Structure 1
Amino acid sequence: MNMQNNENITTTYKKAIYSGTFDPITNGHMDIIKRATNIFDEVIIAVAKSETKAPMFSHERRVDFAKAATENMPSVRVIGFDTLLVDFATNMGINTIIRGLRAVSDFEYELQMGYANSSINKKIETLYLMPTLENAFVSSTIVREIIRFNGKFEHLVPKKVIECM
């Protein structure tokens, strides 16, 4: 194939969804987002309302945190949602869901969720990404615990999130 003949090259526009409660968004989340933007043309950060998890921060604030953290990433869009993730993805016309895996303990839950999503919509694909080693221990749960006890957490979340808090 003659690579100089652009007529034979097909370009597609690929989107993916990275969902979570992001309570709050952490450097670990940002690590996954940056990796996803290297793979996809557009990454939708889908912030789940998730009232059953009793988040520390309101849905609106979590959306604001995610928008602030990604404001310099032109291929990232932040949207809040309150439906099944599969329904949200289908309504957005997106069939790839990004999930982060920090440790083996994450894998079982994420695998079950991936299978459940696929059972609802066979076109949904789940792509698992691992953060760098320095962010592998960072979770929103850890950050919330540190915040509750007035500990130092600034090194675990994006600077823009600190400014929003």
Structure 2
Amino acid sequence: MELVSSPNPHFIPGYTGFCPQYKYRLGDTFGTTTHKVLLDPTVHHAEKLVLSDRSGDDFQTFRPATKEIDIVNERHGDTIYRHPMVPGYEGFVPKEHGKFGQRYTVQATEALADFEKAQLDNRLAQNQITKIGYLQDNRWDPKTLEDKELKVSLNCHY
């Protein structure tokens, strides 16, 4: 009985590229079959494997920050824009255009977080303008201590 894990070298399960002589071999798992094909001296293949060893690299993966993920997940509205974004989604993602060099999920999450931050800033600015307008028309009924102080300070100027 063979072990569940395949010995090295072997092609990764899910690999959709060319594997010489694979279609003529039957009866074993993908990993075992590709292991045998890669070690078989009668099968012609390239001197070097196409995949490179990245273990010695200082290769880094970029993931969206936890804060950005929380911002995206807290938004109300379309469930398409939840983390993690579905790779291959071709619909509109706010603020996503012009971002390159990262995986789609990272780009889309960062773009949505930027959009939500901009929306929050716009809402806060709009609320502040509305407060000042109500204060100037004497229609403001402050509820919080901060709003009451704002009313007193603005009334001193008028």
TM class, shorter-length:
under 0.3
Of Structure 1 and Structure 2, the greater strand share is in 1
Query: Per chain length, whose mean CA-contact separation is higher, i.e. which structure has more relative contact order (CA < 8 Å, sep 6+)?
Result: 1
TM-score, length of structure 2 as denominator length: 0.20
